[in-house]
Structure 1
């Protein structure tokens, strides 16, 4: 660790293999907390490089509980978190809209860290029982086009750094890794990030990994498309900035996306959206994120067609029927 820290202090970069070995050693408790804290601080100050992030990802994936869903070619829809906006569960809602449109979704998530209700919170509010049983997850996919994987059941290595992360109380490289360690290794991903440097980082990572993707950022700091301002989208095919009006949507206020002050209130908003009885702002925000997720899987479709597909899923009731089937299978 002394040698590694010296290299990093001198602005040297680690290779993928070096980063992988380093993180495996961390998970095997080969370093003390002071050394780990120093390492995490270095990366926060100088930023992490693409190969380093891929190496850390590979390390965590070697220790994961693997789930084989490759035949479904699923998508994960997720935000990095940490935007501090406490919006409702937009990404998770979008998952059911996409699944209702006939696509397969493998959602990986956890409890909320910077918001009242994370994906796992809203799932628990609906009585969902978390599992890492392969057969149960495949049954859920077959019945509802949707599986949910509660991160702690699949990524045991993360426990080894829980103490130092809690002590530091700041964002670290492990926050960046969350969206990259879906145990099913989905074929596609819609990833929302809170700033433009992260956008470029993840785009480069996905291009190296060969994943079909769209990385999105609202320019006022949301880690999803919020329609509160202009937003940027980066894929393998294009990089573009949109105004909401470009796609037929109205600009909405941040207050209209508030997720409530309890998980129960957040779950009520979630249900209202999928039952097509929410506010227009809540509905539109989910639709636009679902639309770019669909385009990530169907890159030859223009975004207007993808909006139409997402809208039909929600307004026809298919998205809510998908939620009901999912709950029935997973409770």
Structure 2
């Protein structure tokens, strides 16, 4: 093990200097291999976190880790597909809105290639919920492709497609125990190995809106929206999704290009403003109960409005509808007409057949 690995770059970061593209490529090689010690990796990541990643650095890290991802072989779907996800880390304990909305989008006929993981900061992550409804995390590639063809839905369990993270995981855990937020808290949602052309991505802090949005655009995403929902009267400052419980900060490119960061209130979708308590989720069993009610549009009103807002926006990002009003109407009809419930039953039947 070379004791000099990452030392020079760590010193640059400690002196407040940004790394260039070649330096980042070399650093990622060391981070993802065993030629640098855990202490060297920890020092490097802590120094990067303290300095703060520049937009250029963040985009380069996205590019380098995308190169190392396993290709799931879904290229023919990518141009029309969307991923809906959040960074997590908002400590809000809300229901799995983006996962539920991905069901609605798939039921409407749009290919969804969802890339996610188990819960880290919440009691129920996307992978936990999907596995509970019958979607296996270890489905073979041919089953994943067939599911996308038949149901407009594929789930890519992140650990299966990013072996490069194996040699970083122990160091990330150590840093997390020390309360250090590293670049890896943000990278995950930007690294979908199927490279869908559309993305609706929520962030736990609005300061990351443009950084993540520009990184996605520079790395091949055609139409994207990065969002953060504010919660004015709550202990939790905000959530990593659009919400009907306060204003939303939005940065978009492509089909819905924004002029910098815009502020959208629930009234933009003709929705009222609700209390954040309506969005609260729980453990897996509780979230399954909430999901069951949401399938009939019979959940708490603030949660229903939040679901409709996110689904309508996803339809706009994909070009499925021409206005928020049309998107809300489509979203309501999918739930009240039973289409999403029927789709979910088709999913269960499909994956029950091995």
**Which structure exhibits the higher relative contact order, with contacts defined as CA atoms closer than 8 Å and separated by 6 or more residues?**
1
SS of 2:218's equivalent in the other structure is: helix
- Aligned counterparts, 1:1-331, within 5 A: 1-72=6-77, 73-131=80-138, 133-169=140-176, 170=179, 171-211=181-221, 212-220=223-231, 221-236=238-253, 237-238=257-258, 239-260=261-282, 262-298=283-319, 301-331=322-352
- Unpaired stretches in structure 2, ≥5 consecutive residues: 1-5, 232-237
Deviation beyond 3 Å, 4+ runs, structure 1: none
Displacement, 1:132? Answer: 5.2
Could you state the TM-score of these two structures normalised by the residue count of structure 1? 0.94
Deviations 1:161-186 (A, max 9, x none): 11111112232111111001111111
CA RMSD of aligned residues (A): 1.7
Displacement, 1:148? Answer: 1.0
Change over 3 Å in CA distance of 1:287–1:29 after alignment to 2: same
Q: Which moved more, 1:114-123 or 1:47-56?
A: 47-56
Change over 3 Å in CA distance of 1:158–1:132 after alignment to 2: farther
Deviations 1:263-287 (A, max 9, x none): 1111221222123332222221111
Q: Distance in 1 between matches of 2:139 and 2:159?
A: 10
Could you state the TM-score of these two structures normalised by the residue count of structure 2? 0.88
